[in-house]
Amino acid sequence: MTRPLSRRLLLRRAAFAGAGAAVWPLWTADHDQAMAQAVPLGVSFDDAPFTIGVASGDPLPDSVIIWTRLAPEPLTSTMERPSGDLPDEVEVEWVVATDQRLRRVVASGTAPARAVFGHAVQVDVRGLEPGETYWYRFAYRGAVSRIGRTRTAPAGPTDRFRFAFASCQAFPSGFYGAYRGMAREDLDLVVHLGDYIYEGGGDGEGRSHTGPQIQTVAQYRNRYALYRGDPSLRAAHAAFPWVFTWDDHEVDNNYAALVPENTNAEEGNDEFALRRAAAYQVYYEQFPIRVGPDGTGFGLPTGPDFRIYRRFSAGDLLDIDITDTRQYRSDQLATATSGEAEDPSRTMLGDPQKAWLKEALGREVRWRAIANQTMMAQLEVAGLPEDVGGPLGDAMIGIDDDLAINPDQWDGYRAERRELLAFIRDEQIPNVVTITGDIHSHWVADLKVDFDDPTDPIVATEFVGTSISTSGFPDGSDMAVRALIAPTNRHFRYFEGERHGYAVVDVTPEQWRTTYRVVEDLDDPNSRVEDLAAFEVADGRPGADQISGGGGQPPRVPPRG
């Protein structure tokens, strides 16, 4: 069942058909041609050289990283000519103020932008006050960037914190109306859980990536620039500080450590290490990520390695432990019995990150969020009816007793999941909440050491947020999916698979509230954003209660354990 195409969409598709007849912007070296061809895709840029806007991130109580990238020709970067006519190194001016007209300046200076990093600029602005709002701007030779707004982290006693989390923003799948809505929120922070870009090629309809898969530094740069060409994304970056982590598509679909998606093809592990190095370097260039050697940052990417797991803290109220479940993980199982999936040598986190996470969870703080990529809750289904495709359809493999799992999720790394959840139980660590992306749909789950035992206590709560734009389940399939998951997965309290948007989280000492916000129409760049459903977790009592919103309840809710 598909929705009838709106008139707007039909017009848009017609415009794309025209654009598709020409050479796609990523694969022409001609700047003017690329820019003209990007317009029908809903792409526009800020004035050069600050075309792809500004951003800020990794706030501390006294510091925030501010970012821009000088990209006078954003879609046609090459190794020989990464940033138009810019010299190899330029000095960029920056200013930070306590007012939006930049009159009360509290910090300013210059910072280098170098060709080797795509003329990215990251400034660690120090000496700021905790929990305060600031505005910032960059300038180069008389040209100025847009003004960004940011906020430092609170310190000490903190009685409220409000953040959004988002994931999965495939450019071909739709417009970023969700980010337009997010930019209008009142938020202290945004957490991005990965799949910020998609690496694939293809000749599809609409905002297609047309062309081969991206592999090189220049190709990754141009792909990020294309995504930032959606003005709603730039608006959301300029509105709040963000913390970023990646999933697979920032490099290659379903890669695991140094194993690429296609192990049999032209690309072996050695070649993949080079590709991962390119992708990680460009990732560093595109974001305000703290890399300083001060205990909160862990240095620049070196070859194929880049440590990005780290912690954000909001005073005594909230830690967000930001994980990386791609760089260190064991390869996905291609076929499995549950015994193989239980192999204790299989890891999602790698030993150093696991030790770091356990230590982080033991800190004295009210709430502990784990920023996670793939679903931690067990998801086992008995067979797949024809009409259930989407994120469940493609990726499942058979396991015991005619059950199927998605081996890219924590279900393929069961011993480590049990170790982590048993640690939370045995150490009596309260108020652990995982925030998760990847599966392009909404889920709320109880996390337990033994998901198959209805009497096993709930030890943590999982909120899986939908995608910003990437395709979810086919229209009209929600009832079938709920019927499919209910018998074997009693720990889910909510599922919705057709809407796209982001989540807003309100944290106080007494409760955690997650509100799922969704766009009315993914094909409308100015779509209205509405509430789908909201859930609360009470201090000291894991498991979420739905407090508003309609559809989406699973058929049965298990009794509170």
Q: Can you tell me the distance from the alpha carbon of 27 to that of 365, in angstroms, rounded to the nearest whole number?
A: 50
For Fe ion, which is the closer residue by CB, 168 or 218?
A: 168
Between the CA atoms of 531, 535, 538 and 543, what dihedral angle is there, to the nearest 10 degrees?
-160
The secondary structure element, H or E, covering residue 437 is none
For Ca ion, which is the closer residue by CB, 95 or 375?
A: 375
Interface characters, 483-512, with Ca ion (x: CB under 5 A): ------------------------------
3-state secondary structure of 506: strand
CB of 411 to Fe ion, least distance (A): 17
Tokens for 385, please give them. 């009816």
The letter for the amino acid at 449 is V
CB of 253 to Ca ion, least distance (A): 8
- Cβ-proximal residues to 140 (8 Å cutoff; 6+ apart), any chain: 49, 50, 70, 90, 92, 93, 113
Whether 404 contacts 380, CB under 8 Å: yes
Q: Can you tell me the distance from the alpha carbon of 378 to that of 414, in angstroms, rounded to the nearest whole number?
A: 9
CB of 195 to Fe ion, least distance (A): 4
CB of 8 to Fe ion, least distance (A): 25
Whether 323 contacts 373, CB under 8 Å: yes
Positions in 154-213 near Ca ion (CB under 5 A):
195
97 binds, options Ca ion, Fe ion, none, Cβ within 5 to 8 A by partner type: none
- How is 181-220 classified by DSSP, letter by letter? HHHTS--SEEEE-S-SS-------SSS---SSPP-SHHHH
CB of 199 to Fe ion, least distance (A): 11
CB of 443 to Ca ion, least distance (A): 15
Contact between 252 and Ca ion by CB under 5 A: the answer reads no
Which residue's structure tokens are 């072996």? Answer: 268
For Ca ion, which is the closer residue by CB, 195 or 446?
A: 195
20 secondary structure, DSSP code: H
Contact between 438 and Ca ion by CB under 5 A: the answer reads yes
CB of 191 to Fe ion, least distance (A): 15
For Ca ion, which is the closer residue by CB, 152 or 373?
A: 373
Contact between 199 and Fe ion by CB under 5 A: the answer reads no
Stretch that binds Fe ion, among 52-60, 166-174, 376-384, 412-420 (CB under 5 A): 166-174
Q: Can you tell me the distance from the alpha carbon of 528 to that of 243, in angstroms, rounded to the nearest whole number?
A: 25
Contact between 168 and Fe ion by CB under 5 A: the answer reads yes
154 secondary structure, DSSP code: P
- Cβ-proximal residues to 340 (8 Å cutoff; 6+ apart), any chain: 333
The secondary structure element, H or E, covering residue 253 is none
Q: Can you tell me the distance from the alpha carbon of 291 to that of 480, in angstroms, rounded to the nearest whole number?
A: 46
214 binds, options Fe ion, Ca ion, none, Cβ within 5 to 8 A by partner type: none
The percent of the chain in helix, strand and coil, each rounded to the nearest 5, is: 20, 25, 50
For Ca ion, which is the closer residue by CB, 199 or 438?
A: 438
What is the size of the binding site for Ca ion (CB under 5 A)?
Answer: 4
Binding test (CB under 5 A) with Ca ion, winner from 199, 247, 321, 324: 247
Positions in 176-195 near Fe ion (CB under 5 A):
195
CB of 159 to Fe ion, least distance (A): 35
Strand-pair category, 148-151 with 133-140: antiparallel
CB of 375 to Fe ion, least distance (A): 12
Whether 540 contacts 431, CB under 8 Å: yes
For Ca ion, which is the closer residue by CB, 73 or 195?
A: 195
Contact between 324 and Ca ion by CB under 5 A: the answer reads no
Positions in 366-425 near Ca ion (CB under 5 A):
none
Stretch that binds Ca ion, among 126-134, 245-253, 424-432, 469-477 (CB under 5 A): 245-253
Which parts of 427-462 fold into alpha helices (H)?
A: none
| Residue ranges that bind Fe ion, judged by CB under 5 A | 168, 195, 470
Contact residues for Ca ion (CB under 5 A)? Answer: 195, 247-248, 438
